[in-house]
């Protein structure tokens, strides 16, 4: 490089590069300092207006060994391009593995000095921060989405979708089962989520069997993508470039495995990406495990509760039965009230309807209702003699050591022509109400001792005959003792129940039950209440509803 070319280059202040460089043009008053490119602590390249290199300092030469004076800069391309451009503007780019920003200073002679400031560390720190923020945001989003559902299938779908959107081109979530094919969810490269099953021979894919058993993941670089089974690859995906298999750790057991797939032309999974996939898998695994536990608990509860739920009723031997139930805790499905309808059998020629109320509320009372219902079922052959059945039931309850007592009503029914004949017995329970065709309401003349409290009990049965369209209503005191009303302080009471029933002449059993339940419900409003059970026994058919006018005087709104 000829020495005479090493003239000091003056650089213009405001548009100049690094801020510590004070420089001058003649128009500005004040101190003057002159910096030569040769002594600058940055790589400096001076080019003439035609873009040919005029001068390079040592730092620039070390950075750009291909640069020659009198020639345009051969590389890097981004710097060569801005140097050829008519207006000099700051540009950034890489040289080898390092990042630089190039700041132009216009020289009086028409040339430009380019100051190259290294930004490698700054850039990688910003990029890492950005990546970290994206990961944190993704993990938050993933946690929110995964926490929302307690359904295993949904959790698998969410896991597959999130993984395919953020971590790979396609993702496969596999859930372990005890036997047979493994349920799996695939989210393909176009975002389509598909449920499928895969063969149980997970050994076909390296690392999958280990992941499904909860062993640490096999590093991606050890897995040959070509060994991936066909069922692993979504349709139309093409060649697999790289593959990650990560276990989904559950609560104590493996919740499954997550397989991430990248297509051939994509970059391979880096170690940090694999580690991050592990973080995501930990969250997904916990969510899937919670969903699995929830389903398991629900199955157990359902099985245990199956016999405690009120049965669904229908017409039996030409008699309509309908029941309605509301537990004292609105989110419960069972409580201390119960009803059953036993159709006739070899040992018991009549249909037996039972409705009762165990002292107390909630699950514990419900368990006692289960015992009573089972005992009554066993005693069905004695149903022709209510007093005897109640005596045996009383003994059974006293003998079981249960401290709870119960009240109940038995109603044996059979058809006689178009009429229905009932034998009803109330044991410590409000007597059933009968609504006649003309809307009169009667109480069945029956009474008796409650069950499970005293060693000796007695009871008196009543015979009731229902003409078509007439109904006999069995109910628990949850109806009559419901507190509320428009002013909030009154009991629903027997009078209101009877008046409501009077309007139900000629109605089908379901409609009677619905009407009474709805009135009680409206009466209670948001207030507290006891368990409520009603059971209607109706002689079907024949009523002329239009003959009954149920509008109540003074009623102004719905």
Partner 1 sequence: MTTTPASDRDEEPARHQIGSRLASARRDERAVAWADKLWNSVRAADEHSALDVVGNARAAGLAAETVLLEVIGAVQHRVGVEWAANRMSVVEEHAATAINDRVIAALSADRPATFLGRVTVACVDKEWHALPARLLAETLRLRGWQVGYLGAQVPTAHLVSHVHRTGADTVCLSAALSTRLPMAHAAITAVQAVGTPVMVGGLAFGADGRWARRLGADAWAPEARAAADRLAAGPLPRPRAPHQAVDDLPHLSDQEFTLVTRTSRTLVRETLQGLEQRFPAMSGYDDDQRERTAEDLAHIVEFLAAALYVDDEDLFTHFLTWTGEILTARSVPARSLLPALDLLAEQLRDFPRARGIIAAARGTLA
Give the interface with partner 1 as residue ranges (CB under 8 A): 144-145, 148-154, 157-158, 161, 165, 190-196, 291, 294-295, 298, 330-331, 333, 485-488, 503-504, 506-508, 510-511, 514-515, 518, 521, 540-541, 543-546, 548-558
Give CA separation, 228 vs 212, 244, 521, in Å: 16, 11, 61
Cβ–Cβ < 8 Å for 244, 228 = no
- Least Å distance, CB 231 to partner 1, is 12
What are the structure tokens assigned to 439, written together? 């809307």
The smaller minimum CB distance to partner 1, of residues 68 and 483, is found at: 483
- Least Å distance, CB 254 to partner 1, is 22
The smaller minimum CB distance to partner 1, of residues 157 and 350, is found at: 157
The smaller minimum CB distance to partner 1, of residues 141 and 463, is found at: 141
Q: Which of 210, 238, 241 is nearest to 224 (CA)?
A: 241
The smaller minimum CB distance to partner 1, of residues 150 and 316, is found at: 150
Q: How many CB atoms lie within 10 A of CB 205?
A: 23
The smaller minimum CB distance to partner 1, of residues 481 and 514, is found at: 514
Under the phi-then-psi rule, with left for phi > 0, alpha for psi from -120 to 50, and beta for the rest, what region is 256? left
- Least Å distance, CB 129 to partner 1, is 25
Task: Name residue, tokens 């697999």.
Answer: 240
Task: Kindly give, in sequence order, each residue whose CB lies less than 8 Å from that of residue 425, ignoring residues fewer than 6 positions away.
Answer: 386, 387, 390, 409, 410, 411, 446, 448, 459, 460, 461, 462
Cβ–Cβ < 8 Å for 470, 319 = no
The smaller minimum CB distance to partner 1, of residues 97 and 552, is found at: 552
- Least Å distance, CB 275 to partner 1, is 25
Cβ–Cβ < 8 Å for 396, 375 = yes
- Least Å distance, CB 555 to partner 1, is 5
- Least Å distance, CB 193 to partner 1, is 5
DSSP conformational letter for 92: E
Give the separation between CA 517 and CA 513, rounded to whole angstroms: 6
The smaller minimum CB distance to partner 1, of residues 13 and 550, is found at: 550
Q: Could you please report the per-residue DSSP string of 297-362?
A: HHHHHHHHHTTTSPPP---BTTBEEEEEEE-SSTT-S--SEEEEEE--BTTB-SEEEEEEEESS-H
Task: Kindly give, in sequence order, each residue whose CB lies less than 8 Å from that of residue 129, ignoring residues fewer than 6 positions away.
Answer: none
Cβ–Cβ < 8 Å for 498, 475 = no
- Least Å distance, CB 310 to partner 1, is 13
The smaller minimum CB distance to partner 1, of residues 48 and 153, is found at: 153
Q: How distant is the alpha carbon of residue 183 from its chain centre?
A: 19
The smaller minimum CB distance to partner 1, of residues 265 and 555, is found at: 555
What is the three-class DSSP state of 125? helix
Give CA separation, 342 vs 62, 208, 349, 410, 423, in Å: 99, 54, 11, 11, 14
- Least Å distance, CB 469 to partner 1, is 8
- Least Å distance, CB 477 to partner 1, is 21
The smaller minimum CB distance to partner 1, of residues 206 and 540, is found at: 540
The smaller minimum CB distance to partner 1, of residues 92 and 197, is found at: 197
DSSP conformational letter for 52: B
- Least Å distance, CB 426 to partner 1, is 26
What are the structure tokens assigned to 213, written together? 């058993």
Q: Which of 519, 518, 413, 542 is nearest to 470 (CA)?
A: 542
The smaller minimum CB distance to partner 1, of residues 85 and 136, is found at: 136
- Least Å distance, CB 524 to partner 1, is 10
- Least Å distance, CB 190 to partner 1, is 7
């Amino acid at each position: 490089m000829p020495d005479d070319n090493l003239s000091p280059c003056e650089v213009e202040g405001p548009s100049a590069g690094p801020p510590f460089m004070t420089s001058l043009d003649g128009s500005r008053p004040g101190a003057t300092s002159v910096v030569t490119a040769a002594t600058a602590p940055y790589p400096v390249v001076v080019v003439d207006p035609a873009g040919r290199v005029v001068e390079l300092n040592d730092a620039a030469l070390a950075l750009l060994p291909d640069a020659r004076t009198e020639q345009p800069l051969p590389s890097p391309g981004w710097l060569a391009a801005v140097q050829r451009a008519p207006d000099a503007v700051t540009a950034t780019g890489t040289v080898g593995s390092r990042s630089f920003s190039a700041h132009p200073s216009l020289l009086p002679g028409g040339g430009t000095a380019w100051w190259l400031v290294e930004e490698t560390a700054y850039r990688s720190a910003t990029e890492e921060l950005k990546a970290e923020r994206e990961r944190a945001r993704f993990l938050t989003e993933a946690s929110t989405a995964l926490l929302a559902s307690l359904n295993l299938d949904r959790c698998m779908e969410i896991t597959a979708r999130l993984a395919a959107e953020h971590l790979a081109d396609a993702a496969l979530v596999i859930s372990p089962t005890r036997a047979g094919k493994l349920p799996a969810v695939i989210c393909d490269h176009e975002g389509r989520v598909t449920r499928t099953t895969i063969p149980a021979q997970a050994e076909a894919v390296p690392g999958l069997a280990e992941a499904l058993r909860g062993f640490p993941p096999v590093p991606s670089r050890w897995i040959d993508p070509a060994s991936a089974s066909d069922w692993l690859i979504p349709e139309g995906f093409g060649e697999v470039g790289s593959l990650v298999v990560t276990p989904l750790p559950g609560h104590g057991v493996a919740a499954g495995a997550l397989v991430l797939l990248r297509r051939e032309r994509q970059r391979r999974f880096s170690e940090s990406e694999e580690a991050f996939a592990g973080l995501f898998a930990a969250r997904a695994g916990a969510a899937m495990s919670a969903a699995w536990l929830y389903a398991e608990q629900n199955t157990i509860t359902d099985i245990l509760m199956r016999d405690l739920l009120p049965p669904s009723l229908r017409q039996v031997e030409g008699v309509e039965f309908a029941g309605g139930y509301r537990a004292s805790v609105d989110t419960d499905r069972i409580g201390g009230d119960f009803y059953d309808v036993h159709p006739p059998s070899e040992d018991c020629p009549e249909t037996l309807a039972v409705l009762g109320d165990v002292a107390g509320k909630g699950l514990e009372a419900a368990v006692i209702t289960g015992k009573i219902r089972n005992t009554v079922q066993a005693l069905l052959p004695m149903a022709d003699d209510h007093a005897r059945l109640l005596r045996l039931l009383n003994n059974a309850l006293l003998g079981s050591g249960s401290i709870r007592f119960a009240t109940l009503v038995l109603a044996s029914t059979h058809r006689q022509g178009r009429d229905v004949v009932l034998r009803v017995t109330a044991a410590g329970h409000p007597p059933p109400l009968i609504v006649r065709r003309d809307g009169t309401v009667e109480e069945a003349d029956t009474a008796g001792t409650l069950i499970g409290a005293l060693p000796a009990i007695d009871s008196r049965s009543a015979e009731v005959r229902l003409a078509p369209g007439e109904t006999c209503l069995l109910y628990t005191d949850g109806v009559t003792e419901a507190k509320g009303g428009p002013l909030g302080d009154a009991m629903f009471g027997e009078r209101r129940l009877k008046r409501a029933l009077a309007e139900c002449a000629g109605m089908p059993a379901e409609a009677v039950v619905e009407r009474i339940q709805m009135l009680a419900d409206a009466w209670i409003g948001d207030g507290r209440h006891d368990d409520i059970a009603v059971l209607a026994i109706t002689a079907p058919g024949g009523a002329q509803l239009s003959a009954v006018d149920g509008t109540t005087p003074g009623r102004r709104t719905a």
